[in-house]
Amino acid sequence: MAYWLMKSEPDVYGIDHLAAEPDGVEHWDGIRNYQVRNLFRDQFQPGDLAFFYHSNTKVPGIVGVMEVVSGAYPDHTAFDPDEKYYDPKSDPDNPRWLMVDVRYVRHLDRLISLAELKADPALADMRLVQRGNRLSVMPVTEAQWQHILEMEKQDDPSNR
């Protein structure tokens, strides 16, 4: 099984929205990036775990855990002209964009901020903290995953 980090803007769709869904399940739609599309298609498996990351907000960071509960399947929002992420080049007979279903697992006990993640030498190899990174879905190694869960148990060093 694999680990992931998935970004969303809390003002648009945050972890509280996911937690409020029936059974905590929703599809992760609107991905219009080929690298992420390929990750969905080739690597996402039911049972994988993902961090929910809040981006483009006052204190960006990791806020919770989700479980992947489906494989990749066509993102129907690409077919609808009324949708924000409508893509006329995605043909229902040959869909260009895919999505997966995720299920809310839990909130972290505290937000682990991007600043804190960046300051931790153990996470220097994370895509998230590297310069110019723009992927909204990215892999997390098992070591990084476990390290972040350990961080959750500590106080934010900047608050000490």
Total of residues contacting DNA (CB under 7 A): 19
Q: List, in sequence order, every residue forming a beta bridge with 68; answer none if it has no partner.
A: 102
Q: Is 14 exposed, middle or buried (0-12, 13-18, 19+ CB in 10 A)?
A: middle
| Interface characters, 11-50, with DNA (x: CB under 7 A) | ---------------------xxx----------------
Instruction: Show the tokens assigned to 148.
Output: 């972040």
Measure Cα distances from 49 to 3, 81, 107, 117 in Å. 5, 32, 13, 19
With respect to DNA, which residue has the nearer C-beta, 73 or 85? 85
Where does this chain touch DNA (CB under 7 A) — which range of 16-24, 103-111, 132-140, 147-155? 132-140
Report if residue 64 touches DNA, rule: CB under 7 A: no
Asked whether the beta carbons of 140 and 4 are under 8 A apart, the reply is yes
Where does this chain touch DNA (CB under 7 A) — which range of 38-46, 68-76, 134-142, 152-160? 134-142
Task: Report in angstroms how near the CB of residue 53 gets to DNA at its nearest.
Answer: 7
Q: Which of 68, 56, 65 is nearest to 28 (CA)?
A: 68
Report if residue 56 touches DNA, rule: CB under 7 A: yes
Report if residue 115 touches DNA, rule: CB under 7 A: yes
Report if residue 127 touches DNA, rule: CB under 7 A: no
DSSP 91: B
Report if residue 134 touches DNA, rule: CB under 7 A: yes
